[in-house]
Amino acid sequence: MTRQRSIRPDPGKPVPRTAMVMAAGLGKRMRPLTATRPKPLVQVAGKPLIDHVFDRLRAAGVRRAIVNVHYLADTLEAHLEQRFADIEVIVSDERGRLMETGGGLVQARELLGDEPVFVLNSDNLWIDGPVDSLKLLAARWDDATMDALLLMVPLARAHNHRGAGDFHLGSDGRITRRRRHGTVAPFAYTGIQIIHPRLIADWPEGPFSTNLFWDRAIAAGRAYGQVHQGLWFDVGTPAAIPRTEALLLDA
């Protein structure tokens, strides 16, 4: 079993003030709920998915969020303008072409600045453990040794998740992808991370996945993981919504 040293948020250590929220996807797995609304506006436990994300950003002290948009972008932009007056929201417009996660980071690169930033998917939902998960990531961040720090959850606790796991986690906190055919990796990526914008370099033309940047960081020994201490839900399909809501009632 992989163990990490106990880390509690250091009130003197700064939390990234900027986040990028990935919200441009087509939401195909969430059909038919996404026939008339973008996936980030699908409601779970009484509020849209993206509102849950912004609640966590606000609690952690994030004050600036870049949100990329593509599918039903006008609807999502109108929601952002109405709901989040206390966080500066900047739209990264992908109406012309959906850029995927890596391409989305490239398109938003000039907006991100030159300090570490949170990057979060808008289609997952989590409950903090003993401490705020975003502050926990910030406490773990070491700029001298890291280019990416991913929040991961043990595959056995990845509610609604149907994948075979994403990463292994070493005793030093570094992540690797060792997974042979027919086996599983013990940790699933939660869709929550801190990256340094210096990682966004030498990119290909057009849409591509963040996996390109992660693989470079892994090869350089500069990709790390932090185990999530609370609950996490993959809310990617309509069937996952009632299951998530039922588990939340017991939380």
Residue-averaged pLDDT of the chain? 91
Q: Give the count of beta carbons closer than 10 Å to the beta carbon of residue 181.
A: 5
- The answer on pLDDT for 118 being more than 90 is yes
The whole-number average pLDDT for the span 228-244 is 93
pLDDT at 7: 47
- The answer on pLDDT for 83 being more than 90 is no
- The answer on pLDDT for 88 being more than 90 is yes
Burial of residue 54, with CB atoms counted within 10 A of its CB: 0-12 exposed, 13-18 middle, 19 or more buried: buried
Written as six digits, the tokens of 74 are 């006008």
User: Could you tell me the pLDDT band of residue 251, with boundaries at 50, 70 and 90?
Assistant: low
Which of the pair, 35 or 82, is modelled with greater confidence?
35
pLDDT at 5: 42
b/e map 16-39, b = 16+ CB within 10 Å: bbbbbbbbbbebeebeebbeebbb
- The answer on pLDDT for 69 being more than 50 is yes
The answer to whether 66 and 92 have CB atoms below 8 angstroms apart is yes
Write down the residue that tokens 């570490």 correspond to.
116
Q: Give the count of beta carbons closer than 10 Å to the beta carbon of residue 220.
A: 10
- The answer on pLDDT for 144 being more than 70 is yes
